[in-house]
Amino acid sequence: MQKRNFLKSLLLIIGSFPLKIFSYQDKERISFDYGVASGDPTADQVILWTKISKINKNDIDIKWQVSSDADFKNIVASGSKRSIFADNFTVKVDANIPKKYNGKKIFYRFYYENIFSAIGATSTLPLDNPNKYNIAFCSCSNYPAGFFNAYKEIAKNDDIDLVLHLGDYIYEYGRNVYPSKGSEEMGRMVEPPHEIISLDDYRKRYALYRSDEDLQNLHASKPMIVVWDDHEFTNNTWKNGAQNHSDNEGKFEDRIYNAIKSYYEWMPIRENKDKSKIWRDFKVGNLFQLLMLDTRYLYRDKQLNINSYINDGIINKEKYRKDLLKKRSLLGAEQQNWIREKVSEKFKWSIFGQQLLIGPKHLPQLLREFKSSELPNYLKNIIDLAGAKLPYNTDQWDGYPNEREQFYRNIEASQSSVILAGDSHDSWLSNLYDNKDKFVGIEIGAPSITSPNSIDTFGEKINKIEDEFIQENRNLEWINGKNKGYVQLAVSNENINVKYHYVSTVKSKKYKLLQPFTFTIDHNQPLKS
């Protein structure tokens, strides 16, 4: 009885205090579920990124550290950053790095009280000319198409100093749309299950991608410089619309806002006042300048619709040719002028990171021999272009020939120009010539990380088609539509050594590295077959 009275009295005493003193709901329980990332390095700064997972909507202060060693015994920079609900609890810091650590590998982490993030490795860009500087570049990582084995290989490659992602980092499609075969068996079904449109949709899709261990490890291993392509918005985007946006999906400008906001939340990119202006430049000593361009969104006029020129399977080629030559914008005057000013600065190399294949690409006559059932739908409609010396993909630079010529004129001051491209899913290597047959640079097209490429369309016929493509396009030196992977550039004063790295499969985490394809670019010289 006395015991019962004692307990009753104790409960009354406890009840007289505010409940929150004994509540665990106010205690912050956080985690760093999406790893860390770094990007947009300069000679003395680098963006550091993480995201907080937490149970409430309260803003919170997150601390960060940069160290010269992985054990964090020598802290070289530190601070605190507010993580807020309005930015999806992502954290981005533009860290100032002491000059003595310029170009050297450094380490960083975030923490709250005694909870720490993973440790990331990064570096600033060298002020002095390095003997060699290695860049990896890649694009087109469709989550349901397979595993990110190529990302794993980039992370493992200790020779790589910097990674460029040329777009299609995510895809907007819902389940069972593009591509769907095998995604459920691989455990690669997208979230949310529908096509992404709202801000919450885009955030959830990025969260899915960044839950991938191989992608997390890539971001934690090296700094990355990124640009968007269309699938960060929706398929075949232009400034006022897209092929994959309809009226029943709301206002296009609202979708653009959602896509851009989520992109800047999740990517280790430095933010300008106008977030739609994504082009920017980077310098590695006097060795090379890197110009990241936007050929996708801000100033891009709508691409021609080839289907509008077709009548009973026959394309009105003369009207099509005439309309192609009409003045239409891709880069826009502001970006074109900026490019001209930047390349007037003297570097050994000018490297352009952008989205689209720039060299002319025409369908070979061989494709006319295919049965209709052997062709994908997009080729069935335009097979009349095979052998016609007219572009078949107006979404690429081929759809903007006047803009291409203007770009060629604007880069004339460059000592040696190398244009990198993503988007196509195949590997391409081309010499570039203007309409007066003057050599202007080299194009290197990246294979996809996972997205379907030509072998997924043509199967065993791919070797013959590749040969015919080279015969049809005199500027084209080499093509590989069979393999997925990434490209490595070893830039030196004398030349650029290029290596295509390929994985044997993306349908399993058990894979092999294939024999790489290598070649060398010399200053202002076309490649020789």
Instruction: Check which CATH number belongs to the domain holding 473 and give it.
Output: 3.60.21.70
Task: Determine the length of the chain.
Answer: 529
pLDDT digits (tens, 9 = 90+) for 286-328: 999 999 999 999 999 999 999 999 998 899 999 999 999 999 9
Answer yes or no: do 86 and 233 share one domain. Answer: no
Q: Is residue 19 part of a domain?
A: no
Helices (H) and strands (E) in the chain, counts: 12, 27
pLDDT digits (tens, 9 = 90+) for 433-465: 999 999 999 999 999 999 999 999 899 899 999
Q: What is the pLDDT of residue 6?
A: 44
Q: Is residue 118 part of a domain?
A: yes
Alpha-carbon span 323 to 317, nearest angstrom: 10
Q: Taking a C-beta distance cutoff of 8 angstroms, is the pair 214, 152 a contact?
A: yes
Strands (DSSP E) found in 89-181: 90-96, 106-112, 115-116, 120-122, 133-138, 162-165
135 phi/psi in degrees, rounded to 5: -120, 135
3-class secondary structure, 410:
helix
Q: Is residue 12 part of a domain?
A: no
Answer yes or no: do 79 and 178 share one domain. Answer: no
Where is the domain boundary, 72, 103, 127?
127
pLDDT over threshold 50, residue 10: no
Alpha-carbon span 292 to 39, nearest angstrom: 13
Short-list 197, 149, 155, CA closest to 173? 197
- Considering its fold, how many domains does the chain have in total? 2
Kind of pairing, strands 133-138 and 162-165?
parallel
Evaluated on CA atoms 193, 197, 200, 202, the torsion sign reads positive
442 phi/psi in degrees, rounded to 5: -115, 135
Q: Is residue 226 part of a domain?
A: yes
Give the number of C-alpha atoms closer than 13 A to the C-alpha of residue 167, restricted to the C-beta side: 31
pLDDT digits (tens, 9 = 90+) for 250-275: 999 999 999 999 999 999 999 989 99
pTM here? 0.94
Answer yes or no: do 115 and 147 share one domain. Answer: no
Q: Is residue 16 part of a domain?
A: no
Residue 27: band (very low, low, confident or very high) from pLDDT cuts 50, 70, 90: low
Alpha-carbon span 163 to 223, nearest angstrom: 6
Residue with tokens 């095979």: 386
Supply the CATH number for residue 110's domain. 2.60.40.380
pLDDT digits (tens, 9 = 90+) for 94-120: 999 999 999 999 999 999 999 999 999
Where is the domain boundary, 105, 127, 149?
127
Range of 344's domain?
128-522
pLDDT digits (tens, 9 = 90+) for 374-433: 888 889 999 999 999 999 999 999 999 999 999 999 999 998 999 999 999 999 999 999
Tabulate helix, strand, coil % of the chain (nearest 5). Answer: 30, 25, 45
